[in-house]
Structure 1
Amino acid sequence: MANLNLNKVVLCGRLTGDPELKQTQSGISVVSFTLAVNRRYQSHSADGQAQQQADFISCVAWRQTAEFISRYFKKGSSLCITGSIQTRNWQDQQGQKRYSTEVVVDEAMFVDSRSESQQRSAAAPAAGQQYAPEAYATPGAAENFDVIKGDDDLPF
């Protein structure tokens, strides 16, 4: 069997803060940000209802991707990214070994339409307020899909 190694991440979520573009000493653009992504899970309670919890994922983008994100996205913006997981470790000033895991962004894509983005910025929370990510689906997101009622209707 072939040796298969794959490190690919696809995330869609909302920015928890405004991305701030920085430059390295050699002039390379870089932006770090946190993406709030909802994760669904089944509750072990009696009702067994599906629950959601937000995960906050650290991300970093470089060069043109960093410039694109800092220019077109801000706190609360919906964003889809593809990239890879990177781990780093270092010693802090107290000599403790520290670890960091983040997504190195290869691509960033819009999720909201321009009008949705403008409406969201008009209704953005005031400084200091906590941001809570919305649910995955938006009203009307499944309008163009047929409802399949049972396994017998599946084409495979």
Structure 2
Amino acid sequence: MNNLNSLLLEGNLVKDPVFRSTAKGTPVCTFSLASNRFYRQDSGLEKEVSFFDVETWAKLAENCYNLGRKGRGVRVVGRLKQERWNGADGKQHSKVTIVAEHVEFRPEFKKDKEKQSGEPEEIIPGDSPEDEDIPVLEEAEAVTF
């Protein structure tokens, strides 16, 4: 019987995803995720940031590469995988990676997309200035394989 190895993690992509294919042609996409934790201590609110490496495979890898970009919010469901190897120095090394089984990208707001693309927002006659601060929410994109 397998032991439980499952996790749910939310955060933001640290940089754009990296895409490659294995020797057999299987797509692989890797990205780094920053997850923030806020807590109270003594006189104020403290922030702790943890960084995680995530890998995706097959169709999920293609979708993550196409939808992911630096700063985009993401939710990952997956499992932990530990890699072990002997280094050139003769010491044993170890690295834990998250293998994603489900990835859900958070909705992007129109203003966020504009900042990343550098393109001006389309101006529609009749828009009131009061509406400028209200973000336009696009559909959430869920990616599974």
Choose the corresponding residue for 1:39, options 19, 34, 37.
37
Task: Name the TM-score, length of structure 2 as normaliser.
Answer: 0.73
Choose the corresponding residue for 1:11, options 9, 12, 18.
9
Task: Name the TM-score, length of structure 1 as normaliser.
Answer: 0.68
Counterpart Cα distance in 2 of 1:15 and 1:99: 23
Query: Among the aligned pairs, what percent are the same residue?
Result: 23
Aligned position for 2:87: 92
Return the offset for 1:116.
5.1
Return the offset for 1:113.
3.0
- For 1:113, the aligned partner's letter is E
For structure 1, the residue ranges without an aligned partner over 5 or more in a row are 124-138, 141-156
Higher strand share: 2
Counterpart Cα distance in 1 of 2:36 and 2:30: 20
Return the offset for 1:109.
0.7
- For 1:81, the aligned partner's letter is V
For 1:21, what is the secondary structure of its paired residue? Answer: strand
Q: 1:113 to 1:25 in 2, by over 3 A?
A: same
Alignment map for 1:53-92 (pairs within 5 Å): 53-92=48-87
Question: How many equivalent pairs are there?
Answer: 120
Q: Which runs of 4+ in 1 moved over 3 A?
A: none
Note if 1:112 corresponds to 2:110: no
Return the offset for 1:71.
0.6
